Amino acid sequence: MRTIHAATLVRRAPGDDPAPGLAVLVTGDRIEQIAPLDELTEAYPQVRVRRWAGTLGPALVHDGPLPPAPSPRERVHALFRAGVGAVAAAHLADPELRAAAARNDVVVLDTARPPTLAAGGRADLAVFAEDGSCLATVVAGRLVHRRA
């Protein structure tokens, strides 16, 4: 299934300047294309468009202990609420926590690396409001968090 994610601004990597007018076409768990929104909607008129009021960019990489919560599942979902799509393996030593991360398609990295948005790459996206709060998180092409 294809989805176009469009936001006020799009940032391809954490240090990049955000650009207006771009959108990300996601097919399954992959980014198919990053292009101007009008080009994507013209080329794919039947595709659902999710519009976000914020800055869309790559989901974050978490390199620290996971937030405390009553269960491993809730600890993983706390990451989603923060815009995280990947975690350093050193912080998933607990087998139940690692299993919860795997069930939710969280990327487990041997070493933390900067996330990027690129055609052909995994569709791990996050949208942040101007105040830095996370509005939405997409992991492996699946919307896993949306702030009400």
Domains of the chain: 2-57+116-146 (2.30.40.10), 61-109 (no CATH)
Question: pLDDT tens, 14-24?
Answer: 889 999 999 99
pLDDT of residue 112: 77
Name the pTM for this structure.
0.94
Structure tokens at 131: 């105040």
When pLDDT is cut at 50, 70 and 90, the band that residue 6 belongs to is: very high
For CA atoms 99, 100, 104, 106, the dihedral sign is: negative
When pLDDT is cut at 50, 70 and 90, the band that residue 113 belongs to is: confident
pLDDT at 11 over 90: yes
In percent, how much of the chain has pLDDT > 90?
93
Question: pLDDT tens, 16-49?
Answer: 999 999 999 999 999 999 999 999 999 999 999 9
When pLDDT is cut at 50, 70 and 90, the band that residue 1 belongs to is: confident
Angle, alpha carbons 118-120-121 (nearest 5°): 60
